[in-house]
Structure formats: C-alpha cells, structure tokens
Amino acid sequence: MLGSMSIRLFRRLISNFIHSTPILHHVWDPVNQNHCLNIRYINKKENLLTRSLTFFPFSNQISPKPIYADYTIHSLNLKPHVRLAINSAVEMKMDKDVVRFCISKQLERSSDGLKQIQNKQRRVKVSKKAKLNELRFYRLNAKKKMRSPNPETRILYRLGKAKRKEEWLIEKLRKFDVRKAAAEVYDPEILTEEEKFYLKRTGEKKKHYVPVGRRGVFGGVVLNMHLHWKNHETVKVVCKPCKPGQIQEYADELTRLSKGIVIDIKPNNVIIFFRGKNYVQPEIMSPLDTLSKAKALEKYKYEQSLEHTSEFIEKLEMELEEYYKHKERFSKEKETSRSD
C-alpha cells in the first residue's frame, strides 16, 4: 500500500515539472539484484523528451534509506519550469511513515553507479561596510609606509607602486596594436632630379598642408592627404610636436599607407609628398590598419603616462642605490670608530 502511494506521488511530482503523461517500464537491475522503475516522458507540444531512471524498490522492499532518481531533459524550447529540472535529482525520504520528495544535489552516472557531486559553493556576499573597512585598512598601511622614518621603506613602496602602474599601462597599450596589412605590390615611379626640384619648389610655395599632432599617424591623416591630392600634385605634412628622429618614422609610415613619394624632409619637421604620375584615388581613403581619431588620442595619453612613469622609476632606483651606498659608508665608519 505504501509502495503504490509513493509511486503515485513520484509520478505526480515529475508531471508537475514537465506537464506530460508518464510511461512506466519495469526493469531488472543486475547490479543491485533488484527491480527498477524506468519512467519516460514525451511531450509533443513542447518538443520535449524526458528520460528518468529511478532505483525504486517495490512495496515489499521499502527501506528508510533515501532513494534517488536521475533524469535528463532534451528540449528545443525549454521553459523556466523545465530548466529547474535539468540534470537534477529527486530524493524520497520517509520519516515516521510519511513519504516526502525533494530536489537533491546533482548526480553523475559512472561505472560504479550514481555518485553525488556537491554543487560549487557560491561566492559569499560581502557587505558594503566590510568592503569599506578593507579599503580603510589598505589606506592606513599605505600611509604608514609613506610616513615611515626609514627612507628605504618609503622608496620601496613608491617603487613598487610605480612598477605596478607601468605593467598596467603596457597591458593597456597592447590593445591598440593594429596588425599591418600585407604590402601591396606596385611599381615605384622613378623621378629625375629636375622633376624632384620642380615638385619641391611647388610644394614649398603652396599653402595647403596636413597636420600631424600628438595623435601621430592615424586614418584621418591619410584621408586628408588623398583629399588634397584630388586638386594638387603635392602636399605638405607638418609634424608638431615631433621628437628627434621621429620625423623619419612618420615619413616611412605615411609612404606605406598613402603610396606617395617623399620629395623632401625639411629641418622644421615638414615633409613634402608627391602623389605620383599615375595616381588613382582609392575607394577607401582611410586605411583599415590604422586607429581612429579617438583611439589615437587615448593611445597617446597612455604612452605619455608610460614615459613619465619609466622616468620616475629610474629616479627612484637611483635614490635607492644612493641610500644603500650611504648606508654602507656609514656602517664602515662606525666599524672603524669602534676598532679605534
């Protein structure tokens, strides 16, 4: 009587999850030498196929131990109430002749049988007050190190902080690395000395120019060059600010991107470009392997910060070396005074 009642309750619980008609099959389990109950659920409307295998003893074999049912659900359109039942297990408990069902921990089928796997522990939620206390603790430690009477502690704290910032800036700059496109094969035009002199004079006289500022070479610079070459053969590229030796890097990069010819590089950081005799305006005037205006500015800011940070690290390392030298000198003087 109790066994038939428990089977009915079990069927009702599964049908509440899936809303389908169950089909029961009796199977003999050769491992446990016991009868098993194989339950298969099919819901044509929801396109569900649910399979459940329950090691469930009959009425004459009921024991107070919990009995597990492992089932899987294969669906194309899973609903919220079905998602809760996926890869879960039903546990039957009997306390004082009362049958109760509950969803237990996840089960895994192995060669030995069903093994219980504990769910991953969720992260413990930390309160806002605890977070503030932790931040306050770190700030107090930082203040202690900064105001320490020992100069070595102060220098090492600042040096470690600067090195961490340097690593962070390097990681940020890696995001702005753009893969260079494969170089197109083209026939470079050969200009005579007279043609070069003529193009140089005409380029110097004309007032139109393209500025290259702190952002460096990006897509907009090449676009402006092509727009000037629509009406003029030459264009001036003015690079300000420009570090020593950087003008040559700009000239090589713009030659690769615009396919122009460098006529002359002036001492005041001005490059004169010639578009070529057989110039054809490209469909995409701003190359794809260049940064946008906003990203070029962001990259410049990170580069400036990295440059200043590296200078600051060098300065701190020199201070630390001087402190160690002073410490050695002081210890030697102390030893000599003691020996005397």
Per-residue pLDDT 10s for the chain (340 aa) are: 545 556 666 666 665 654 444 444 444 444 444 444 444 444 444 444 444 444 444 444 444 444 444 444 444 344 444 444 444 455 666 665 665 665 554 444 444 444 444 455 566 788 889 999 999 999 999 999 989 999 999 999 999 999 999 999 999 999 998 888 776 666 667 888 999 999 999 999 999 999 999 999 999 999 999 999 999 999 999 998 888 889 999 999 999 999 999 999 999 999 999 998 888 899 889 998 899 999 999 999 999 999 999 999 999 999 999 999 998 998 888 888 887 6
User: What pTM, to 2 d.p., does this model score?
Assistant: 0.58
Question: If we measure between CA atoms, which residue out of 255, 88, 97, 94 comes closest to residue 184?
Answer: 255
What was the pLDDT predicted at 82?
Answer: 40
How far is residue 149 from each of residues 145, 154, 328, 331, measured CA to CA in Å? Answer: 9, 8, 18, 18
What was the pLDDT predicted at 297?
Answer: 95
Which contiguous run of DSSP H or E holds residue 311?
helix 293-339
- Terminal alpha carbon distance of the chain: 106
The rounded distance, in Å, linking the Cα atoms of 77 and 79 is: 6
What was the pLDDT predicted at 189?
Answer: 78
What was the pLDDT predicted at 277?
Answer: 87
What was the pLDDT predicted at 334?
Answer: 84
What was the pLDDT predicted at 45?
Answer: 46
**Does residue 316 contact residue 155 with C-beta atoms inside 8 Å?**
yes
**Does residue 118 contact residue 93 with C-beta atoms inside 8 Å?**
no
What was the pLDDT predicted at 296?
Answer: 94
What was the pLDDT predicted at 165?
Answer: 95
